[in-house]
Structure 1
């Protein structure tokens, strides 16, 4: 599949390991959002009215960002929201439309290119049916191996130690550029999706405000095991929402200081229950405010706008968006 096709695939395919099975919910709802169009949502839900994204691509600290603003900004005050995508990146129309949805609700949204114009490789392959030949099955298995290898290599290129310095530059730049919005919200809010959820979590920790290459953490005892390149600083964001996170590790929770909301799905192989429960326990023990929402029967990625065919997924996406808005409003 070509890169431009990848950029238009609905976000629930992001890093999906099981989506090659015909009839799997992640595939059923994953229709293309081609030609920069998608099903626009009301309060986050897909509808039948196609619309193009309303924001624009610009640069902060020489890093590409998608920026989208409320219609009445700057005449009316608004809050600044950092929206961190999953591996599909800032050029995926679904991600742009989700950012636009927050702007419609009064947020000035900055969606930075965390991955330096290197979105995740396509993780969805068409599966052969039960009548496929032995040769076709071998080809499918070979494709799955290739997919896994490419994804592993991509993740190795985009560790927090490489991504967070880019985010720190963007946060510093937009704090200056949109000081009014930062002041209106008392800081920078953050919503992170899938792998972007891990980065949101780290930005809400003592490791998040400043990241310097080549240096290790100041206190491993206090901050837990973290990746080389991070040192302890104050949180870069005042509150963070993690939407069906991916690649999150137990240690990522240890230094969190800002309020956190975790939106998860049942039996998510990309964010296991054991890691999530251990992380929540760790944060609560340190007095960090934690809110959890768990949605059963929906796939990883459901909380971002897409062409959902399943009515239950449509409703869950709408409810999740409303829950996030209420939580952000309360913080």
Structure 2
């Protein structure tokens, strides 16, 4: 069910050299992969669901996707807090290229050239993959899952008076897009109409990637942001533009910037550095409390 070889950190961080990837989490996931409207979805339920009321949570992953053990355990953590979690394969089976570990045990010039060549190739493959993760491709998949959830899990949506969402890395950007009042890229192909948002009640996102300032325009739901200090995948300029847009719109929001952590740190995984472990736990509590209280 799970792919234990998928890296803990989002693959878009593989192009960075400042932190080693975390090891897979040393426990097994408890949910399962099902089909919703022909989309593969990892579902994780509270142990007492449906006998006890639960709220519906949409979890949008980084590029490692729904078969990553760590992403699955992340979903299970929210389920243990009473959320019915749906984690869709928003990439249509096209997860990001897996990272390749390089053991640098030689200082020879030739070895250094080989290492740099692999790094450049990895970065190129990741950039090519990110270019395929577009609104036009991903939003229709998410809308299919949301439409199916409204039918099959109407009780959970009613319990929470809407759908909650958390997103990590590239998935974080789509939390923003689902939080907009309108989203033209979510066109209804059958009717030719345009789906209107917002599609979620509240959202929390961690170390976003591929976000542009315009993604913060027209937002209409409360949002919590977990950010990494000096993150090239979510530059300070974009973050500050986003903060300005949300403030000007009088949108309820919070932004926390975590220093000394790698991009992808908020996803479940084992880091040897205790400061990263502590930050990971704090980020989870920030996101959990936000969706619990909104």
User: TM range, normalised to the smaller chain?
Assistant: over 0.9
Scaled by the length of structure 1, the TM-score of the pair is: 0.83
Match of residue 308 from structure 1? 271
What is the rounded CA distance, in whole Å, between the counterparts of 1:207 and 1:65 in structure 2?
25
Q: 2:111 aligns with which of 127, 130, 136?
A: 136
Match of residue 250 from structure 1? 213
The CA deviation at 1:57 is: 0.3
Contact 2:15 2:123 (8 Å CA) reproduced: no
| Shift in alpha-carbon separation, 1:208–1:172, aligned structure 2, 3 A | farther
| Corresponding position: 1:280 with 2:247 | no
Matches within 5 A, 1:88-127: 88-126=64-102
State the Cα deviation string for residues 38-74 of structure 1 (Å, max 9, x = none).
23xxxxxxxxxxx211000001110000000000111
Q: 1:14 aligns with which of 11, 28, 53?
A: 11
Higher alpha-carbon deviation: 284-293 or 132-141:
132-141
Match of residue 262 from structure 1? 225
Q: 2:136 aligns with which of 161, 170, 174?
A: 161
Match of residue 236 from structure 1? 199
Contact 2:60 2:168 (8 Å CA) reproduced: yes
The CA deviation at 1:80 is: 0.2
| Shift in alpha-carbon separation, 1:126–1:6, aligned structure 2, 3 A | same
Gaps of 5+ in 1: 40-50, 215-228
- Secondary structure at the aligned position of 1:240 is classed as strand
| Shift in alpha-carbon separation, 1:303–1:209, aligned structure 2, 3 A | farther
The CA deviation at 1:145 is: 2.1
Aligned positions, number: 291
What is the rounded CA distance, in whole Å, between the counterparts of 2:30 and 2:115 in structure 1?
39
| Shift in alpha-carbon separation, 1:142–1:252, aligned structure 2, 3 A | same
Contact 1:164 1:208 (8 Å CA) reproduced: no
Contact 2:11 2:62 (8 Å CA) reproduced: yes
Scaled by the length of structure 2, the TM-score of the pair is: 0.92
Match of residue 63 from structure 1? 39
Gaps of 5+ in 2: none
Match of residue 30 from structure 2? 54
Contact 1:16 1:124 (8 Å CA) reproduced: no
The CA deviation at 1:13 is: 4.7
Contact 2:14 2:122 (8 Å CA) reproduced: no
Q: For the aligned residues, what is the CA RMSD?
A: 2.2
The CA deviation at 1:230 is: 11
The CA deviation at 1:94 is: 0.1
What is the rounded CA distance, in whole Å, between the counterparts of 1:101 and 1:151 in structure 2?
28
The CA deviation at 1:210 is: 7.1
